[in-house]
Structure 1
């Protein structure tokens, strides 16, 4: 017995979508009835009708035998990395906590290497690996940093991922995270007060909020698990705090990377505007975990 990923109904013989890998009841089995990410590829018939089971059936010009074809085969439903398809949000969340543990290991056994591995610094911006590792790293001095970002990624990440697809979501998260970190470093150089370093997924998290704000500004969330507010107000509040923090701080070395927050938000708003009309908005829909989805007023804590 399985559970329908849309309505939560228990189904003895569920329909499994070959595109997104979720289980559905008869009512929601059609792609258009469960907002399948495959609908975003409607202009690419091969992407819609290909089950992903065996990419070798299409050998035109050798395209499917390349890296893209092999990657699709590995991540397709039933493939060794099939879980990644449609679950990049959770994959990135897991990586964040794994990296968090590794930070303590490095601090315990090789403290001098900590910044060179996990922190994007103004002293060594040429360490290009830190552009990415810094996105998944968080301050080891407090759990609030990673917990705050983790909550937003857990509840809101899957909503955006279902709308734009896993590949685009991965590019959005990594791209905005890297650019936000570089913006924070660049701002320090621009005002003649370079910062020592930046780490955290806050820029990418703000980009996710920005995309959701454009696609559905009235999406309701529970602020601190208590107060229901529209997401546009939450995003506006974050933006206001970041602006005040950036302008009011006498030292760019403050504990909060306000410029990274603002950069991620702007990038998210821009991308949301770009895809608006090309993908369907969440329509007050949030994934609350365990495959259960609520429609028409669904809410998630923040």
Structure 2
């Protein structure tokens, strides 16, 4: 544990500035937040510090390299991908409501936002379905958004925005494909949407990195993260086996797939890294998402 050179706050995972060598908390880690001497070299062609968003930011030449350097347009996404994903969820939800309630075009809705067994070749839905939620139930997007807001920030701070983005999108896609693929092999047709598969991957990684992280189920019941994760896995597994992978309108298999990906990636991070994130100081929610009937939601 170390203290921030600016505010004196104790940090289990302190940040060290590459320019001045100081130790800082998350609030003061950026050079402009601790009056770093490196700010005097802001116009240096090599950049003041690594963008942390994409390794190609350090390569010479290339449009993306220039854009991702400190001060470039892509620098605004560094450390903020959790909020980008939350924003995409909200924008997609608005688009869903518009297509259904204003345009009244159910066929277009399915084509744009729903990953389906019978139309798995619509590759764009592999991604759009992650951010799409039930337009008739605000609870679906609200619950997923709350969990992502609290836990996404913790993991993004630890593994970085680049890896967090790759994990979120890859696990969301694979979770959806697993659900519609397995149901298709069983002779059925699944239609899924929702971010819970990706969110469960986030929870899985955090469970491996810090299993004793204290969370609050529905903001009330304190519980170690590993207990909530095991309980969720047992419940989803039991329902999938006894009632089917899409029982009660919930994509249970997508949940389990996302969780499995997160646990595997968490084990890799732990092997190649150090300690995990500290206790979730801001509190948080836990439990299963995607409740309700109708199409498979996760």
Q: Normalising TM by the smaller chain, what interval? A: 0.7 to 0.9
- SS of 1:300's equivalent in the other structure is coil
- CA deviation string 1:22-79 (max 9, x = no partner): xxxx9x9525x659999xxxxxxxxxx9999568448xxx932124413422xx3x43
Instruction: Go from structure 1 to structure 2 and tell me whether the alpha carbon gap of 1:253 and 1:123 turns closer, same or farther (over 3 Å shift).
Output: farther
What's the counterpart of residue 158 of structure 1? 153
Identify the residue that residue 89 of structure 2 maps to in structure 1: 96
**Structure 1: which 5+ residue stretches go unaligned?**
9-14, 20-25, 39-48, 289-298
CA distance in 1 between partners of 2:60 and 2:153 (Å): 28
CA distance in 1, matches of 2:183, 2:253: 9
The residue that corresponds to 1:65 in the other structure is 61
> What is the correspondence of 1:3-82 to structure 2 with a 5 Å cutoff?
7=9, 29-30=22-23, 56-57=45-46, 63-73=59-69, 76=70, 78-82=71-75
Pairing 1:1-302 to 2, within 5 Å after superposition: 7=9, 29-30=22-23, 56-57=45-46, 63-73=59-69, 76=70, 78-107=71-100, 108-109=102-103, 110-195=105-190, 197-250=191-244, 252=246, 254-277=248-271, 278-286=273-281, 288=282, 299-302=283-286
CA distance, structure 2, for counterparts of residue 56 and residue 160 of structure 1: 31
In structure 2, what is the Cα distance between the partners aligned to 1:175 and 1:236?
22
Give 5+ residue unaligned stretches, structure 2. Answer: 1-5, 31-37, 48-57, 287-298
TM-score by length of structure 1 reads 0.75
Conserved in 2, the CA contact under 8 Å of 1:164 and 1:279? no
In 1: Cα distance, 2:208 partner to 2:83 partner? 23
2:16–2:29 contact (8 Å) kept in structure 1: no
Q: How many angstroms does 1:122 deviate by?
A: 1.0
Q: Matched residues in 2 for 1:183 and 1:97: separation? A: 25
Once the two structures are superposed, what CA deviation does each residue of 1:74-120 show, in whole Å capped at 9, x if it has no partner? Answer: xx3x4334331101011101110111111001112133200100011
In 2, Cα distance between the equivalents of 1:285 and 1:251? 31
Conserved? CA contact 1:18–1:51, under 8 Å: no
Aligned length: 257
Structure 1 residue 285, shift from structure 2 partner = 3.8
